[in-house]
Amino acid sequence: EVQLVESGGGVVRPGGSLRLSCAASGFIFDDHGMSWVRQSPGRGLEWVSSIAWSGGSPTYADSVKGRVTISRDNGKNSLYLQMDGLRTEDTALYYCVRDDKVCSGGSCQHFDHWGQGTQVIVSS
């Protein structure tokens, strides 16, 4: 069974930092690209960042570019999101998601498994 378990969320002041982690199990981790998607309270889904199976080709939403770094450790079956310079608008539930390897990355990129999410609250 595919499992994605996020951790590292919490309450942080504006300008602060957090490192989100995602522990993956139940599948061959380095067969898949991975991504982060967030959802603000009562709002829709927003893609944040993606990374290829190799750890290369990271991509970022304009709303977080320059403040966020995605990375992965295939030896530990783990995905990370380093978030710096946090803003109140970054408050959201952050989901770790698996790219469907049918077309990981590129024009048909989509997400076939989602974690339960980790909550990030940015508030003074």
Where on the chain is the footprint of another protein (CB under 8 A)? Answer: 35, 37, 44-47, 50, 59, 61-62, 95, 100, 102-103, 106-112, 114-117
Shortest Å, Cβ 116 to another protein: 6
- Nearest alpha carbon to residue 64 among 78, 47, 52, 80: 47
Shortest Å, Cβ 75 to another protein: 26
Extract the tokens encoding 91: 């408050």
The strand ranges marked E within the chain are 3-7, 10-12, 18-25, 34-39, 45-51, 59-60, 68-73, 78-83, 92-99, 111-114, 118-122
User: Looking at beta carbons only, is 75 or 106 nearer to another protein?
Assistant: 106
User: Looking at beta carbons only, is 3 or 88 nearer to another protein?
Assistant: 3
Shortest Å, Cβ 8 to another protein: 17
